[in-house]
Chains A and B, each alone.
Chain A
Amino acid sequence: MLWLLFFLVTAIHAELCQPDAKNAFKVRLSIKTALGDKAYVWDANEEYLFKAMIAFSMRKVPNRGTTDISHVLVCNVTQRVSFWFVVTDPSKNHTLPADEIQLAVRMNRNRINNAFSLNDQTLEFLKIPSTLAPPTDPSVPIWIIIFGVIFCIVIVAITLLVLSGIWQRRRKNKGPSEVDDVEDKCENTITIENGISSDSMDMKGWHINDTFMTEDERLTPL
């Protein structure tokens, strides 16, 4: 009699939890990829933890506060590691609708991931999309700040150079007119003493024309 009941229960369970059954979800874990050397083996204890996490998530859904571990059925565990699971109602005759399970898992995805030290990519619930992280946009884009800094530095440098150039030119315009008078006086004295002095020609270098011009000016009155 007991054996009969046992077979009946397992038969019902087998019908409820099957690959591609109604309201069933496939779960895929990539433990070795995520943890490498520290990977743990998937055994019955890990399965128990998984059932507990799913029951915990379902309990957080309104009206499902009485979900128990025995209501979560797991089947078709493969080497991958992948398996299918369903959540039944307290009577264990029907499975809970997929929407509620999806909602529960999405709300608690982080807690489930952390329980297994995995993330959204290594603990996959097929058909339950993970919410993508929203982009973190700072209020002022960073590049504008750096642009502004470099721009100001360049503008300041240009202004300094231009201003110093103007200032230097003003000094040169005032300076050479005084120096020129002194040079002319020197040339006057030298010419009177020595005729055409080679010094004055060397001083002006390329400006031999100017030397001749000044000589003409001096000679004409004579």
Chain B
Amino acid sequence: MEKARPLWANPLQFVFACISYAVGLGNVWRFPYLCQMYGGGSFLVPYLIMLVVEGMPLLYLELAVGQRMRQGSIGAWRSISPYLSGVGVASVVVSFFLSMYYNVINAWAFWYLFHSFQDPLPWSHCPLNSNHTGYDEECELASSTQYFWYRKTLNISPSIQESGSVQWEPALCLVLAWLAVYLCILRGTASTGKVVYFTASLPYCVLIIYLVRGLTLHGATNGLAYMFTPKMEQLANPKAWINAATQIFFSLGLGFGSLIAFASYNEPSSNCQRHAVVVSLINSATSIFASVVTFSIYGFKATFNYESCLNKVILLLTNAFDLEDGFLTASNLEQVKGYLASTYPSQYNEVFPQIKNCSLEAELDTAVQGTGLAFIVYTEAIKNMEVSQLWSVLYFFMLLMLGIGSMLGNTAAILTPLTDSKAISRRLPKEAISGLLCLVSCVIGMVFTTEAGNYWFDIFNDYAATLSLLLIVLVEIGAVCYVYGLRSRFASDLQAMTGRPLNWYWKVMWAGVSPLIIISLLLFYLSDYILTGTLRYQAWDASQGQLVTKDYPTYALVVIGLLVASSTMCIPLVALAAFILRCLKRGGGTTSEV
């Protein structure tokens, strides 16, 4: 007896699931960085253009395919053409790689969350060295937040070759992260549908609280003014446009198969056009909203550091010249420096090398992205706020919600094709399949908890999904427009499903503009990889207390190559296999159409 396909309890659950999946850590830690690097307020121009021209059409396409075919990615593309099920397989492979390394971020978020319940926060001060005469050397050279991240959390080794052993603390947190994900996906859409109410809405609550707190912080307006002042000349920089297109593409999570999986649980008649527009708009609005919060925090941190620097200079001069305590302030500093230089030149020359040039712009210019922003810069700002434990708990709880929301989409992309396939779902119940997936990913993910784990994490983060996804989505558009037939079948299918005709705008975008953008992105990435020659990475040097650039060893390059190849090669290999199978069937003489 065939079971009816499980459905979302109401359309709101579907929209929340898509938002929860699309709004992830990239909105918080990548978009503000891009905004800062490519012209502040003026970056919004290419970003919004790319949203309308690339983001919305591609999102609508994936949702429509999922809703029409009512199967996971492998089944959906097989229905379009048996030669194209490789696209689905490639999506599943990429999703598997992503889920392996992405959950490590949740493990780190758990680690920081658990450590936020201490007074004072462990990353706010340096620990004492072994004989209690001073502070730990590495911590003095770097900062206390960097020390806590690189030494206490990661216990990072100096290079990728020295892999060290599995650290039991992050390993425990990783196990907990996978158990939490398993709990959410255990029952399929029944449980996922309820969890996404929280994972989609709670981050917004925290962001609003942070917005109010951030805007009232001392120095927040410095950050906001600096970042949002548009630098119009960046509009002529092609990198700004390329990065805007890339950000829209990866932020929506296209090509993983998660959106197809989510949409396949929809009622056939739901209005996926409206859902696509709503989800993409909310995703971009969240990015902009999160960057306002981030810039006000940046401004606070930069102002705090600038004022500390000034205070150090003031203390130095006051002590060197025995001036009256409180005489030197930030406003008369330059005057007094001039006076001292002229009145006591020899003494001033002695002190001069130690006087640092404090600059607010230099502090604001430190642009950070990724785990560095989330775990180093933000924690540095939080430790200087009042009631820092509360802000820390809120912040890491939000990161956790964002991360788990995205993980739900990733695991759905893998599980939906597995549960659709009758061969597997007849033998094992849904809970066992999900459990096996979580177990396998957790065991492989232990690699990321070794001492060199963060370097492997960076490899996966930079190379596992980037090229493959572009290729997958390109083949997807090509398949829908030219293999399935845009005007002939797909448009009429959509009209039959939703009850209204397909707008000409979508047809133009799908057939022409979006593929062109993806091809140009692909060409740019390929030429970038080829031109830079060897690939390099940032390693933490404990003796200097900063990051140094190193070359990847050969076996790491081989792994990178395998990562990219294993997903992209699925497309031609499965097509070839399907062709061979078809030839064999025809050769065998059976005439039945499968």
CA distance A78 to B179 in the complex (A): 66
CA distance A113 to B335 in the complex (A): 34
In the complex, whether A142 has a CB less than 8 A from a CB of chain B is: yes
CA distance A2 to B440 in the complex (A): 97
Beta-carbon contact of A134 and B128 below 8 Å: yes
Beta-carbon contact of A165 and B183 below 8 Å: no
- Chain A neighbourhood of B172, CB < 8 A: 147
Given contact pairs A143-B114, A157-B183, A210-B1, A150 touches B176 in the complex (Cβ within 8 A): yes
Q: Which residue of B lies closest to A147 (CB)?
A: B114
Given contact pairs A134-B128, A142-B118, A147-B176, A158 touches B182 in the complex (Cβ within 8 A): yes
A11 to chain B, nearest CB (A): 25
B164 to chain A, nearest CB (A): 21
Residues from 152 to 207 in A contacting B, C-beta threshold 8 Å = 154-155, 157-158, 161-162, 165, 169, 176, 206-207
Q: Which residue of A lies closest to B1 (CB)?
A: A207
- Chain A neighbourhood of B526, CB < 8 A: none
Q: Which residue of A lies closest to B186 (CB)?
A: A161
Beta-carbon contact of A80 and B325 below 8 Å: yes
Residue from A79, A129, A157, A161 within 8 A of B323 (CB atoms): A79
In the complex, whether A60 has a CB less than 8 A from a CB of chain B is: no
- Chain B neighbourhood of A162, CB < 8 A: 186, 431
In the complex, whether B322 has a CB less than 8 A from a CB of chain A is: yes
Beta-carbon contact of B179 and A155 below 8 Å: yes
Q: Which residue of B lies closest to A169 (CB)?
A: B429
In the complex, whether A151 has a CB less than 8 A from a CB of chain B is: yes
- Chain A neighbourhood of B179, CB < 8 A: 151, 154-155, 158
In the complex, whether B134 has a CB less than 8 A from a CB of chain A is: yes
Beta-carbon contact of B325 and A165 below 8 Å: no
Residue from A29, A134, A165 within 8 A of B132 (CB atoms): A134
- Chain B neighbourhood of A150, CB < 8 A: 110, 176
Beta-carbon contact of B323 and A80 below 8 Å: yes
Beta-carbon contact of A132 and B187 below 8 Å: no
Given contact pairs A151-B176, A154-B183, A210-B1, A132 touches B429 in the complex (Cβ within 8 A): no
Stretch of A30-38, A47-55, A66-74 on the interface side:
A30-38
In the complex, whether A28 has a CB less than 8 A from a CB of chain B is: yes
B81 to chain A, nearest CB (A): 25
B422 to chain A, nearest CB (A): 15
In the complex, whether A135 has a CB less than 8 A from a CB of chain B is: yes
Beta-carbon contact of B176 and A207 below 8 Å: no
CA distance A29 to B128 in the complex (A): 26
A187 to chain B, nearest CB (A): 15
CA distance A79 to B133 in the complex (A): 32
CA distance A117 to B182 in the complex (A): 57
Residue from A31, A79, A147 within 8 A of B322 (CB atoms): A79
CA distance A129 to B111 in the complex (A): 36
CA distance A142 to B115 in the complex (A): 7
In the complex, whether A146 has a CB less than 8 A from a CB of chain B is: yes
- Chain A neighbourhood of B324, CB < 8 A: 79-80
- Chain A neighbourhood of B319, CB < 8 A: 28, 80, 82
CA distance A151 to B322 in the complex (A): 58
Beta-carbon contact of A207 and B2 below 8 Å: yes
- Chain A neighbourhood of B127, CB < 8 A: 135
CA distance A151 to B178 in the complex (A): 11
In the complex, whether A75 has a CB less than 8 A from a CB of chain B is: no
In the complex, whether A61 has a CB less than 8 A from a CB of chain B is: no
- Chain A neighbourhood of B134, CB < 8 A: 132
In the complex, whether B345 has a CB less than 8 A from a CB of chain A is: no
CA distance A157 to B339 in the complex (A): 71
Beta-carbon contact of B132 and A143 below 8 Å: no
Counting chain A residues whose Cβ lies within 8 A of the other chain, the interface size class is: 35 or more
Contact with A along B82-119 (1 / 0, CB 8 A): 00000000000000000000000000001100110110
In the complex, whether A81 has a CB less than 8 A from a CB of chain B is: yes
A147 to chain B, nearest CB (A): 5
Residues from 40 to 63 in A contacting B, C-beta threshold 8 Å = none
Q: Which residue of A lies closest to B114 (CB)?
A: A143
- Chain B neighbourhood of A169, CB < 8 A: 429
Q: Which of B4, B117, B183 has the most CB of A within 10 A?
A: B183
- Chain B neighbourhood of A176, CB < 8 A: 1
Q: Which residue of B lies closest to A129 (CB)?
A: B133
Q: Which residue of B lies closest to A149 (CB)?
A: B114
B569 to chain A, nearest CB (A): 37
CA distance A207 to B3 in the complex (A): 10
Beta-carbon contact of B325 and A32 below 8 Å: yes
In the complex, whether B470 has a CB less than 8 A from a CB of chain A is: no
- Chain A neighbourhood of B443, CB < 8 A: none
CA distance A79 to B327 in the complex (A): 10
Residues from 185 to 202 in B contacting A, C-beta threshold 8 Å = 186-187, 191
Beta-carbon contact of A146 and B322 below 8 Å: no
Q: Which residue of A lies closest to B435 (CB)?
A: A162
CA distance A146 to B325 in the complex (A): 46
Contact with A along B122-133 (1 / 0, CB 8 A): 000001100011
A165 to chain B, nearest CB (A): 6
Residue from A33, A131, A158 within 8 A of B326 (CB atoms): A33
CA distance A26 to B117 in the complex (A): 42
Residue from A135, A144, A155, A165 within 8 A of B431 (CB atoms): A165
In the complex, whether B318 has a CB less than 8 A from a CB of chain A is: yes
B494 to chain A, nearest CB (A): 23
In the complex, whether B180 has a CB less than 8 A from a CB of chain A is: yes
CA distance A154 to B177 in the complex (A): 10
Q: Which residue of A lies closest to B135 (CB)?
A: A132
Beta-carbon contact of A78 and B322 below 8 Å: yes
Beta-carbon contact of B183 and A146 below 8 Å: no
Q: Which residue of B lies closest to A42 (CB)?
A: B325
CA distance A93 to B114 in the complex (A): 62
B574 to chain A, nearest CB (A): 29
B137 to chain A, nearest CB (A): 15
Beta-carbon contact of A147 and B173 below 8 Å: yes
CA distance A28 to B316 in the complex (A): 13
Beta-carbon contact of B176 and A158 below 8 Å: no
28 contacts between A and B (CB under 8 A): A28-B319, A30-B325, A33-B326, A78-B322, A79-B322, A79-B324, A80-B318, A82-B322, A129-B133, A132-B132, A135-B127, A142-B114, A142-B118, A143-B114, A146-B114, A147-B110, A147-B172, A154-B180, A158-B179, A158-B182, A158-B183, A161-B183, A161-B187, A161-B191, A161-B431, A165-B429, A206-B2, A207-B2
Pairs A-B, 8 closest by C-beta atoms: A143-B114, A32-B326, A78-B322, A79-B324, A80-B322, A32-B325, A146-B114, A154-B179
Q: Can you add 20 more A-B contacts, CB < 8 Å, to A147-B176, A154-B179? A: A33-B325, A79-B327, A80-B325, A131-B132, A132-B128, A143-B115, A146-B114, A146-B117, A147-B172, A147-B173, A151-B179, A154-B176, A155-B179, A158-B182, A161-B191, A161-B431, A165-B186, A206-B2, A206-B4, A207-B1
